[in-house]
């Protein structure tokens, strides 16, 4: 763990292969904690973690809470509806209140892109020893989801010893609303770092051509790419062609809350062109796993039958792996905190 250099976790574009493997090793160790009699480790005893979700969440919020509790941390949850935001307090003042209470780590979800990064900048310039962990900001980044998806796939390909090597040269197809998806962006950084080839598939309104260049340069403000050679990214408009050589398929929710206007008028037509179903999976040359980050819109991006078929979908495995992945992230950020 000595090589861990991140004081905040904001975006997977800053992660090296070594970072991914450090997280995978810890996740593998933490996977079994719930089988012990106490179901806990003392690693973060006395640390305070604020779980600040300014946007709705089920999976991410509850698994960060559970992960913190499994590491024996104190957790403060925040709910928009019962907070002083309704009295006019700003999100920044709300966050500063948690920092004043001594939060060691703040897990933040916000509908606006870059809120976690701006906050990380604020704590750094003010020498505050609080780490910021991005739990999803606008359509920018959802690092813990990208990591749990990566770990779930690595475990599928190599159940005994999941590592970044398990993804090398694998062909992963991501289907759907790429434009509004922070999950797709985080998966693009993570998968290409491991040498996977990613095919993006969707209509032009939800998948602009610019995505072909997404991982070619680090985002503005980041000096260099810590990964020497990334896997390639392709765009394919036809689902049949996209699925042909796939080793795994990820489908994404249509994110209507992030669409500036109604970009799809005919959901039936979208489902018939891009819906992942038992029928469309017949275009794959072999039996492949299907991932979905959740929440699912049944009958829009994936069939209800497929959601219920866990011989094919890895949805419950993704949720299960979310806990040890988030334990690993909290553990790593907690390493440099004073007791």
Which positions lie near ligand CP, rule CB under 6 A? 57-60, 136, 145, 293-295
CB of 322 to ligand CP, least distance (A): 8
Q: Is the dihedral of CA 92, 93, 98, 100 positive or negative?
A: positive
For ligand CP, give the closer residue by CB, 75 or 235: 75
For ligand CP, give the closer residue by CB, 208 or 295: 295
For ligand CP, give the closer residue by CB, 116 or 195: 116
Residues 6+ apart with CB under 8 A from 131: 7, 8, 9, 104, 105, 106, 333, 334, 337
CB of 74 to ligand CP, least distance (A): 22
Residues 6+ apart with CB under 8 A from 90: none
Q: What is the dihedral of CA 209, 211, 217, 221, to 10 degrees?
A: 110
For ligand CP, give the closer residue by CB, 188 or 284: 188
Q: What is the dihedral of CA 269, 273, 274, 278, to 10 degrees?
A: 110
For ligand CP, give the closer residue by CB, 59 or 244: 59
Residues 6+ apart with CB under 8 A from 66: 323, 326
For ligand CP, give the closer residue by CB, 240 or 256: 256
Other Cβ atoms closer than 10 A to 67: 27
For ligand CP, give the closer residue by CB, 57 or 72: 57
Which helix or strand (DSSP H or E) is residue 234 part of? strand 233-236
CB of 293 to ligand CP, least distance (A): 4
Residues 6+ apart with CB under 8 A from 12: 141, 143, 146, 147, 186, 189, 190, 193
Q: Closest Cα to residue 163, out of 185, 123, 195?
A: 195
CB of 338 to ligand CP, least distance (A): 31
CB of 136 to ligand CP, least distance (A): 6
Rounded-to-integer distance, Cα 234 and Cα 172, Å: 10
Rounded-to-integer distance, Cα 322 and Cα 290, Å: 17
For ligand CP, give the closer residue by CB, 99 or 179: 179
CB of 275 to ligand CP, least distance (A): 19
Rounded-to-integer distance, Cα 84 and Cα 224, Å: 40
CB of 336 to ligand CP, least distance (A): 27
CB of 118 to ligand CP, least distance (A): 21
CB of 109 to ligand CP, least distance (A): 8
Q: Closest Cα to residue 106, out of 83, 125, 122?
A: 122
For ligand CP, give the closer residue by CB, 146 or 275: 146
Q: Which two tokens stand for residue 215?
A: 């991982």
Other Cβ atoms closer than 10 A to 268: 10
Rounded-to-integer distance, Cα 250 and Cα 150, Å: 11
């Amino acid at each position: 763990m000595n090589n861990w250099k991140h004081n905040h976790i904001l975006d997977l574009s800053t992660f090296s292969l070594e970072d991914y493997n450090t997280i995978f090793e810890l996740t593998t160790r933490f996977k079994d904690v719930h089988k012990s009699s106490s179901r806990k480790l003392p690693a973060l005893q006395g640390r305070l973690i604020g779980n600040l979700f300014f946007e709705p969440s089920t999976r991410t919020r509850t698994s960060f809470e559970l992960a913190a509790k499994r590491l024996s941390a104190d957790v403060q949850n925040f709910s928009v509806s019962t907070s002083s935001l309704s009295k006019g307090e700003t999100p920044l003042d709300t966050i500063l209140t948690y920092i004043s209470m001594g939060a060691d780590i703040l897990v933040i979800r916000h509908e606006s892109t870059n809120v976690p990064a701006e906050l990380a900048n604020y704590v750094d310039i003010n020498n505050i020893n609080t780490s910021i962990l991005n739990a999803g900001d606008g359509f920018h980044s959802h690092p813990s989801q990208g990591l749990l998806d990566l770990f779930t796939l690595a475990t599928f390909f190599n159940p005994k010893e999941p590592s970044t090597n398990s993804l090398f040269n694998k062909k992963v197809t991501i289907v759907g609303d790429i434009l509004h998806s922070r999950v797709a962006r985080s998966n693009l950084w993570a998968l290409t770092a491991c040498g996977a080839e990613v095919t993006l598939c969707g209509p032009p309104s939800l998948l602009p051509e610019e995505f072909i260049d997404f991982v070619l340069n680090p985002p503005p403000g980041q000096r260099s790419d810590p990964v020497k050679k990334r896997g390639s990214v392709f765009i394919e408009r036809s689902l049949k062609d996209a699925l042909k050589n796939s080793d795994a398929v990820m489908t994404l929710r249509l994110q209507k809350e992030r669409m500036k206007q109604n970009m799809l008028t005919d959901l039936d037509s979208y489902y018939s062109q891009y819906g992942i179903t038992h029928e469309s999976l017949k275009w794959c040359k072999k039996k492949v796993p299907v991932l979905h980050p959740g929440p699912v819109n049944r009958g829009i991006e994936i069939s209800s039958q497929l959601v219920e078929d866990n011989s094919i979908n890895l949805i419950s495995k993704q949720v299960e792996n979310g806990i040890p992945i988030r334990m690993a992230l909290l553990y790593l950020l907690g390493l440099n905190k004073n007791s």
